[in-house]
Amino acid sequence: MAELSGRHILLGLSGGIACYKSAELVRLLVKAGATVQVAMSEAATRFITPVTMQALSGRPVVTTQWDAREPNAMAHINLAREADAVLVAPASADFIAQLAHGLAGELLPLLCLARPWASPDAATAAVGDGRCPLLLAPAMNREMWAHPATQRNVAQVRADGAQVLGPGHGDQACGETGDGRMLEAAEILDALIAFFQPKVLAGRRVLITAGPTFEAIDPVRGITNHSSGKMGFAIARAAAEAGAQVTLVAGPVHLPTPAGVTRIDVRSAQQMHDAVLPRAPAHDVFVATAAVADWRPAAEQGEKIKKAEGQRVPAPFALVENPDILATVARLPEGQRPWCVGFAAESHDLVRHAREKRLRKGVPLLVGNLGPATFGRDDNTLLLVDAAGERELATADKLTLARALVAEIAQRLPAV
């Protein structure tokens, strides 16, 4: 997906060893469809060459406010006027300090100061509307990051409208470990893409379930299904991108947690029920994406069930019905009940089964799909079923569909 198509990004590099990550960041930005203009501080050129950044961006790199290539000798003005966003990665402690105090002794802080000011909600800005938001990816030693002066400066630049991405935690070039690492290039790319998404769920709280459940038969075996959790995780990411505060209750899957999402891991349907029910009343929206097992063994065996000599079929074991999480949430009293979205993964007769399930669960919106055609895949086709009828969201990657679904939910929510 060319998710940054039509966007022009001004990428600034201040001094720091994390400049090596900026080369990969440029490559990813270009791959995502953005045009990238690189501006480097003198210190940054000690860590990576302008030649490298020019080769990757396809544009001459600007390193000084005295750039003679500018007809009006105002590189700091021209660069910021052309950009949809200024992204500084890495942003050193010294650079952040300059921003916090309005100092402009070199190109990078000068162009940030001279850019058309953008309020913190400028993520909804349209291309070419004149505003230029500022995003910073800090990179420094853990002690520098933790220093009170740095924390004051970071708080100030946030108050002035900058969005701070990270930092990350882990091994540092100095040999120490802690906070202060610049986020990885892919994480910064995702954060930039998220920044430009319309904030249609700003101020909302969204609770989502995702993945399969696992109902243990014995310590080795269990009842489960083929759900990968990818659709639910995509919806969690899309909701967070849209400005929501998102809680994700996930069954046993091996997927990274989307940025900004609070994750709760569970295994069984009962555990998922027990995680969802106390939290549901505090949320505005509940999206039940998880493929929850309808039944579980009445009792879990303490030891592996062994095959007896001459026995071809194990002794039968009793099943009991699992709690219906979606229906239970949908029946909560008025004032405690979030706006509910159900999912139906069917093998056949999708429209009929989806209609019936929506009525049976008592939810305003039911999203249907054919399970065998999507489990484990990166794409999907969704059918939206409500009281007015059905409408299909055509086959696309799951994140694109998740964003479309989030937009649908936002339109249908009652005003607050």
Is 323 annotated as belonging to a binding site? Answer: yes
CB-based contacts of 192: which residues, under 8 Å, 6+ apart? 4, 9, 29, 85, 87, 135
Is 361 annotated as belonging to a binding site? Answer: yes
Catalytic residue among 19, 112, 132, 174: 174
Is 294 annotated as belonging to a binding site? Answer: yes
Rounded CA separation 304/296 (Å): 16
Is 325 annotated as belonging to a binding site? Answer: yes
| Residue 169 to residues 87, 139, 177, 262, Cα–Cα distance (Å) | 20, 10, 7, 18
Catalytic status, residue 174: yes
- Please state the φ and ψ torsions of residue 24, each to the nearest 5 degrees: -65, -35
Residue numbers annotated as active site = 174
Annotated binding-site members for CTP: 294, 304, 323-326, 343, 357, 361
Q: Residue positions in the annotated binding site?
A: 294, 304, 323-326, 343, 357, 361
